[in-house]
Amino acid sequence: MKSPFDWIARLLRIGIGGIFLYAAFAKLNEARAFTASVVMLQVVPFRWAEWLAAMISLAELLAGAWLIVGWRLRASALAAMLLAAAFAFASGQAMIRELEFNCHCFGITAQPPPAGLVLVRALLLLGLATLLRWLANNIPAAGSQAAARSGAREVERSP
């Protein structure tokens, strides 16, 4: 019988994975707008911005799918943490530098969210991904099927 932590991990896995997938499709659908956001951040030369925007979109797509599939959850949670941390860094430095930053993180909106809200969202996602990785580390069944099977074999071998 699954523990509450298993269910929490499952919920987080599917929820965070779904968020990443939604964001990835929104960015790929409005690729020019998201590239403009990366240009506005002024963290890379212009020639790199288009590649970076495409890379981030695809990384979100892969991470989202990976989380939902549930294979090697510790690793996929780590990928989610890194992506969320990158967004937190980007929005944080845009706030500090007072850049006019329009994230387009979830597509085009009539009223772009302020950089502070983008930062809070990214930090929340980072926190949830960190919690998921912790659960995957400490709850064998939540971590991976292989670990769960390994745990079961240990139980069978013990007297």
Partner 1 sequence: MRATLAQDALAVVVMFVIASLGGFLLVRHRQTSQAQHPKVMLDEMRVHVRTGDVLILDARDRSAYAAGHIPTALSFPLAEWKLRAAELNVTLRQHRDRLVVVYCGDSWCGQSEELQLALIDLGHTRVGHFAAGFSAWRDAGLLVALSP
| 91 near partner 1, rule: CB under 8 A | no
Residues with Cβ within 8 Å of residue 118, at least 6 apart in sequence: 87, 91, 101, 103, 105
Does the footprint of partner 1 cover residue 62 (CB under 8 A)? yes
Residue of 75, 94, 68, 81 whose CA lies nearest to 131: 81
- Binding residue (CB under 8 A) for partner 1 from 21, 88, 101, 115: 101
**Per-residue contact string for residues 37-56; x = within reach of partner 1 by CB under 8 A:** x-xx-x--xx--xxxxxxxx
Which range binds partner 1 by CB under 8 A, 2-10, 12-20, 29-37, 118-126? 29-37
Structure tokens at 138: 């400490």
26 closest CA partner among 88, 110, 105: 105
| Interaction of residue 30 with partner 1, rule CB under 8 A | yes
Q: Give the nearest distance from C-beta 15 to partner 1 in angstroms.
A: 20
Under the criterion CB under 8 A, does residue 36 sit at the interface with partner 1?
yes
Mapping DSSP to helix (H, G, I), strand (E, B) and coil, where does residue 104 land? coil
**Binding characters for partner 1, 68-87, by CB under 8 A (x = yes):** ----x-xx--xx--x-----
Q: Any idea what DSSP says for residue 114?
A: P
- Neighbouring CB atoms inside 10 A of 17's CB total 21
